[in-house]
Amino acid sequence: MPPCHDKIETALDLLETIFQDHQCIVLWGSSGKDSTALLHLMQPWRERVTIIHNQVDGGWPGSTENLLTLAVSWGFKPPILTQPVLTFDEYVAQFGYQAEVIPTEYDTLVQPPSPFQSGSVRVSSWWHCTLLRQILPLAQATLTLGADAVLTGSRASDAPGFAAMGEWTDAGQDLLGFIRYNPLTHWTTSEVYAYIDEKNIPLPPHYQWKRAAGDRYEFPDCLRCTWQPEHWTLLKEQYPEVYAEHWPETKHVYEALASQQWEYTKRLMKVIINHA
């Protein structure tokens, strides 16, 4: 069912306050369901919003085009388009393939390549790749504009970090110069989809597949992401040409991970049992 009237009014009240308190306001628009629903709510302030959209190479077909079409049809200024500082292939060459087994809390944007590279498969965390290829271009463009408020479609149910953030956070304001707002933080996934349906808002083509997949896994920004193996099962069904071109290389990565992780797990279990 759609979000209750109170949730919509709460989001609109927050938006009104934001536009009263800030001068340069940016929306980080991914063309996903959440930022698109937020963009729809922001139409009364269309003339004061700057949309920044990062075009992720290897991303989902139709995403940028859908956002451009909606922005123009709803009366917003054409979005500012940014690009990752590294292409997917450049990132893999420098930091390795994304793997869920790599902790994210130790990542930094300035982490140097390992001096101990031996020629085997190298892996990195999904969050490090997201920071470097997705968030950094958005932040750089935002700083160039001198924005004092950034709006996102992040919701509490997406991740613990977003739940802790709430409707807004001024963490990093001294460095970045803006406050981050998440007006849809209390909305559920089903409420966002219901709002999209009720308002007849088109989404990029892959959302038909994404909705059907439900909670099977979290969709990455890039088609070729190796972070979650389940992604490649669904990719084979929906984008067979991408799968056929890149699966042989990806299979090699997964085989190396499976072998190394199994051997390491056996070693860990022996230590745990011996120290029980």
Residues 56-89: tens digit of each pLDDT? 999 999 999 999 999 999 999 999 999 999 999 9
Q: What is the pLDDT of residue 113?
A: 47
* Any domain includes 229: no
Higher-confidence position of 261 and 196: 196
Q: Evaluate whether residue 10 is within a structural domain.
A: yes
In a domain, 245, yes or no: no
Q: Left if phi > 0, otherwise alpha if psi is -120 to 50, otherwise beta: which for 100?
A: alpha
pLDDT for res 162 = 87
- Say if 244 falls within a structural domain: no
CA atoms within 13 A on the CB side of 115: 0
Residue 206: the pLDDT is 93
Residue 172 lies in a domain: yes
pLDDT on residue 12: 97
C-alpha span between 276 and 266 (Å, rounded): 15
Domain hosting residue 171, numbered range: 5-224
Q: Is the pLDDT of residue 160 over 60?
A: yes
CATH number of the domain bearing residue 171: 3.40.50.620
Q: Which two tokens stand for residue 50?
A: 């700057």
**What does the pLDDT read at residue 111?**
47
- Which has more confidence, 100 or 14? 14
Please indicate, yes or no, if residue 266 is contained in any of the structural domains: no
Q: How confident is the model at residue 53 (pLDDT cuts 50, 70, 90)?
A: very high
Asked if the model's pLDDT at residue 137 lies above 90, the reply is yes
Please indicate, yes or no, if residue 264 is contained in any of the structural domains: no
Specify if 79 maps to a domain. Answer: yes
Q: What is the mean pLDDT of residues 100-128?
A: 62
Give me the number of domains the chain comprises.
1
Average pLDDT of the chain is 90
Identify whether the C-beta of residue 33 lies closer than 8 Å to the C-beta of residue 158: no
Better-scored residue on pLDDT, 276 or 266? 266
Q: What's residue 120's pLDDT?
A: 65
Whether residue 181 is predicted with pLDDT greater than 60 in this model: the reply is yes
Residue 103 pLDDT class (50, 70, 90 cuts): low
Dist CA 149 CA 178 (whole Å): 5
Q: At residue 222, what are phi and psi to the nearest 5 degrees?
A: -110, 140
Contact 113, 124 (CB under 8 A): no
Band the pLDDT of 117: cuts 50, 70, 90.
very low
Mean pLDDT, range 155-184, rounded to an integer: 91
212-270 confidence digits (pLDDT tens): 888 788 889 999 999 999 999 989 999 999 999 999 999 999 988 888 778 888 888 99
Paired residues of 59 in beta bridges: 222
Query: Strand 168-169 vs strand 179-181: parallel, antiparallel, or unpaired?
Result: antiparallel
- What pLDDT, on the 0 to 100 scale, is given for residue 261? 79
Give the predicted TM-score (pTM) of the model. 0.89
102 confidence band (pLDDT: 50, 70, 90): confident
Ranges assigned E (strand) in 116-214 = 123-124, 149-151, 168-169, 179-181
